[in-house]
Homo-oligomer: A and B are copies of this chain.
Amino acid sequence: MRSKSIMKKNSPPTLSQVARAAGVGTTTVSRVINGGDCVNPKTLAKVRRVIESMGYLPNQAARVLKGDRTKTIGLIIPSIADPFFSSCAEAAHAVARTHDSLLIVTATQNDLKNEIENVNMLARHRVDGLMIAAGNSRSKSLSQLLMRLSMPVVAIDRPISNSNIPAVITDNFVAAKLAVQHLIEHGRTRIACLTGEEELFTIRERIRGYRAAIKSAGLPPLLDTSVSEFDSAMRSIQRLFASDCPPDAIFTLKNSTTIYTFEVLQELGIAVPESIALVGFDDFELASTLRPSITVLQQPVQDIGRTATELLFERLLGSAERPLNTVRQLKSLDTHLILRRSCGCRVAD
């Protein structure tokens, strides 16, 4: 039971074991694994050989305890499987990599309890920095928790209210207004807006943009915030068409709603864009492949992830000079209206 044989899956070798095996002091090994400066070339070579043969890898936990950074950053998002957030994560990973850091990802399903739990967990692990897309942007308990943390935090996609936490977001308000105005230019006058999850910051902003455009054009608002699954989309659209003056355009505020709406219109045999024009918020892979192809507002997804992560490291590395979180930063990135067929434009696919 206490065999000293080379059995696998035992605890990995330590620095001092390497030192002993190489017949040198721990300092020397430490120097070797940290670049090998001020070490005799012969010693260097020998120690390296021993390290290689023993398969030694420095224990990051021990380094952390000595005061080093953990070389990890945390990313808290509603879902990893969501294309929007997985793209953010991919971009975040790429930036983290350039800083020799790992990315820890957690998913919350927009649940406040999960959000708080995940923040605490990542804080215990002493991640060097944190990025979060909070479903509950206005939660007092979350913002307080975040502001108490001793590490830089950057909000992503959705700002944290009542905080000085910097945020990298898209300008949802302007984008939504733009989309509706485009439909108006196509001569549409009864533009419905379909969505769910109106508790989310992004959705609220988009609704605000819709209302602003509708109002300044003197048109009637037709807002339905009850759409989540396919069935609710079906009900909503049937309801709209049953009314005395049915819509001639639909603006959907999120990816899944756009798709459900498209499917419903397809199933009901309603011609797009002839009878109903359609514009959706958020681009998706097959938007240009569907017939008709779908006009969408394309968010700079990769940019959001990249920018947020760069900002995080900037604060992380510059913390010595500049006091953190003193001036609120809010980077707003532009959204691009991709014109396809569903809005009524006569573009090539």
Contacts and interface: CB of A to CB of B under 8 A. Distances in A.
Interface string A281-305: 0001110011100000000000000
A150 B8 contact: yes
Contacts of A126: 12, 59-61
Interface string A97-126: 100001111110000000000001111111
Nearest to A301: B81
A10 B83 contact: no
Interface in A68-100: 70-72, 79-81, 83, 86-87, 89-90, 93-94, 97
A289 B8 contact: no
Interface residues of A, number: 60
Interface stretch (A243-251, A259-267, A271-279): A259-267
A87 to B, nearest CB: 5
A319 B9 CA distance: 9
A62 interface: yes
Contacts of A291: 266, 291
A12 B89 contact: no
A325 interface: yes
A103 B102 contact: no
A6 to B, nearest CB: 11
A61 B65 contact: yes
Nearest to A127: B102
A58 interface: yes
Contacts of A81: 83, 86-87, 89-90
A104 B72 contact: yes
Contacts of A290: 286, 289-290
A55 interface: yes
A9 B148 contact: no
A11 B126 CA distance: 10
A57 interface: yes
A323 B9 contact: yes
A270 interface: no
A9 B152 CA distance: 8
Contacts of A83: 81, 83, 86
A21 interface: no
B124 A106 contact: no
A64 interface: yes
A80 B89 contact: yes
A338 interface: no
A333 interface: no
19 contacts: A9-B152, A12-B126, A57-B120, A60-B125, A60-B126, A61-B65, A62-B65, A65-B65, A80-B80, A80-B86, A80-B93, A81-B86, A81-B89, A86-B86, A102-B106, A104-B105, A263-B289, A285-B286, A290-B290
4 pairs of A and B residues whose beta carbons are closest in the complex:
A61-B64, A86-B86, A81-B90, A80-B90
